[in-house]
Structure 1
Amino acid sequence: MTEPSPHDLPPLPTIVHAIRRIGVRQFDFSREVAVMAVVNRTPDSFYDRGRTFALDSAVKGCLDAERDGADWVDIGGAPFAPGPEIPAKEEAERVVPVVEAVRAASDIVISVDTFRPDVAHRSILAGADVINDTTGLADPELARVVADSDASVVITHSLASPRTPYASPTYADVSMEVADFLESRIERALGAGIPPERIIIDPGHDLNKNTLHSLELSRRLGPVVDLGYPTLVAVSNKDFIGESLDAERGARVEGSLVAAALCIAQGARIVRMHNVSESVAAVRMAEAILGMRTPSHLHHNMGERND
């Protein structure tokens, strides 16, 4: 079977430390895309509405995601969307037992979606490999917690504090402004002692952005990818897809897969998704089309007969 040539790949910026060890797993982000499954231990998460709020349901959700092909699970205990604040103690009580149980059962990459230093510290001690901060290191103490560990960090663009409304966001050039914000927060991470090989970035689709902003980010991801760090996109079932298609939350899978694939074609290397088996198939197909992986087998029109 012929391996794809590097010359088959679309020209993309060099990724800082493209070969990365996250937990016990190794990724080559120059040639592969990781699928991150979403598992929220919250009663009011925007998509699953509490389906994995119970501890056993959350653990099962993580292990089911791995069986469906996910490389990574992202565990959250507090939604970003406006609403009552979740105390840090309660957030930790939601996520830490899930991290402990999943780590005992699996070597899958585990990230915890939190902006709180104490929750991050406890999660890392429990076995989390990554802290996924939707505030982009708004709290410098979180950067220090990550720097003092072996964990990686996802730096996400957002403008408001979690659970806080942000009415009518405006941008002159959303892609460039998001990239500028992420560049400044990368400097904050580096200054705190987080090495570049442990930094991942996320443009934050729909976070303090309207549908037109998220669509613009999806078609002009270049300024973010150009920063040179592995880019994560969290497009799954979000409102920009629902508003684009006039689709309720349960009918956004196809739109989510298209958005993820177009971002991958522009250089995204981690996709955060709810519908795992469908997402894995879409990602592997995108990798094959882009010359990043060989087909699982070759038979059609490969011999003297076309069976």
Structure 2
Amino acid sequence: MKDKNNKISSLLRYRDKVLDLSTPRVMGILNLTQDSFYEPSRNQSTKELLTTVEKMLQDGADILDLGAYSTRPGAIEVPVELEVQRVQEAVQAIRKNFGEVWISVDTFRSEVAQRGIAEGADIINDVSGGTLDEAMFATVAQHQIPYILMHMRGTPQTMQSMCNYDNLIEDIYEDLMKKVRKLNALEHNNVILDLGYGFAKTLEQNYELLAQQNKFTTMGYPILTGISRKSMIYKALDITAAESLSATTALNMYALNKGANILRVHDVKEAKQVVELNTLLNQ
């Protein structure tokens, strides 16, 4: 993100809140669906949601990411009305019970984004990077809300058939830069980059991308890394998502050393410990 003088800033700003990203931050995943790939992350009632939020905040979460539409490969489609309802109820409940915590809404639909913002969301996290709803860029620019721009091809239903690249790093870099320019043209600079691990990438491509993640820091925007318990981990090790915490923790440390400013995770406590140790190592 850039300040008014068009210089890169480490401060995430929205409304009256400021979050300093010069120290890496942890985003806790809160799924409001029945079919997210990692079952313990699912929250089927407001009571379950608030219990999970309380634990995440106690464990040190800096941001809560609400997802009401699973984007795992082959995920079923969710009607927009249902996604709106899930987001509205969740944001209202969190605001009522936990005050001014940073809330991110994970959606590729501008209508859902609009409702989330109206209810008090602070960040829009778009896995499609604006490709699945042409009104998304205008929506986030209108509100000047922090926007997580992720790289993906196709849809959650088709993305795994779209993994052919001329040059993986250059193609993803250029795709993200092209979209950043479109946002900048709308006078929106409040951007966070997500390279889209697991989205239209093979297992091998995910590791190539992670190994070269630091190259994307030259774009001048913070980087969010979301690899928690993903198939790139458990398939590589021939284990299950439930067994992949230690491997996720190891890769999160690697991601920090490759320029990550935000870790998006299921397991907040462990990620927070990784950030604390990484900070000690880099003093």
User: One fold, TM greater than 0.5?
Assistant: yes
Q: How many equivalent pairs are there? A: 274
2:42 maps to 1:51: yes
2:142 maps to 1:151: no
| Percent of aligned positions that are identical | 27
- Counterpart residue type for residue 33 of structure 1: P
Superposed CA deviations along residues 241-296 of structure 1, whole A, max 9, x for unmatched, are 112222201111111111111111121101100011111111111122122xxxxx
SS at match of 1:166: helix
2:141 maps to 1:142: no
By how many angstroms is 1:55 displaced?
Answer: 2.4
2:247 maps to 1:290: no
What is the CA–CA distance in structure 2 between the aligned matches of 1:169 and 1:102, rounded to whole Å? Answer: 37
What is the CA–CA distance in structure 2 between the aligned matches of 1:174 and 1:25, rounded to whole Å? Answer: 36
What is the CA–CA distance in structure 2 between the aligned matches of 1:22 and 1:245, rounded to whole Å? Answer: 40
* 65-74 or 139-148, which deviates more: 139-148
Counterpart in the other structure of 2:62: 71
Listed as ranges, the gaps of 5+ residues in structure 2 are 1-6
- Counterpart residue type for residue 166 of structure 1: Q
What is the CA–CA distance in structure 2 between the aligned matches of 1:257 and 1:179, rounded to whole Å? Answer: 26
Counterpart in the other structure of 1:60: 51
Root mean square deviation of aligned Cα = 1.7
Counterpart in the other structure of 1:305: none
Which of residues 73, 76, 91 is equivalent to 2:83? 91
Contact 2:150 2:193 in 1 (8 A): yes
Which of residues 117, 123, 133 is equivalent to 1:130? 123
* 233-242 or 58-67, which deviates more: 58-67
What is the CA–CA distance in structure 1 between the aligned matches of 2:254 and 2:19, rounded to whole Å? Answer: 21
By how many angstroms is 1:50 displaced?
Answer: 6.5
Superposed CA deviations along residues 171-219 of structure 1, whole A, max 9, x for unmatched, are 233222211111111112112332x2x1111000011111101111111
- Counterpart residue type for residue 216 of structure 2: V
Alignment of 1:1-307 (within 5 A): 16-22=8-14, 24-29=16-21, 31-48=22-39, 51-81=42-72, 82-104=74-96, 105-138=98-131, 139-167=133-161, 169-194=163-188, 196=189, 198-291=190-283
Contact 1:79 1:163 in 2 (8 A): no
What is the CA–CA distance in structure 1 between the aligned matches of 2:278 and 2:152, rounded to whole Å? Answer: 28
**TM-score under structure 2 normalisation?**
0.91
By how many angstroms is 1:226 displaced?
Answer: 1.6
SS at match of 2:89: helix
**TM-score under structure 1 normalisation?**
0.85
SS at match of 2:193: strand
Superposed CA deviations along residues 218-247 of structure 1, whole A, max 9, x for unmatched, are 111122222110000101000011122222
Structure with greater helix share of residues: 2
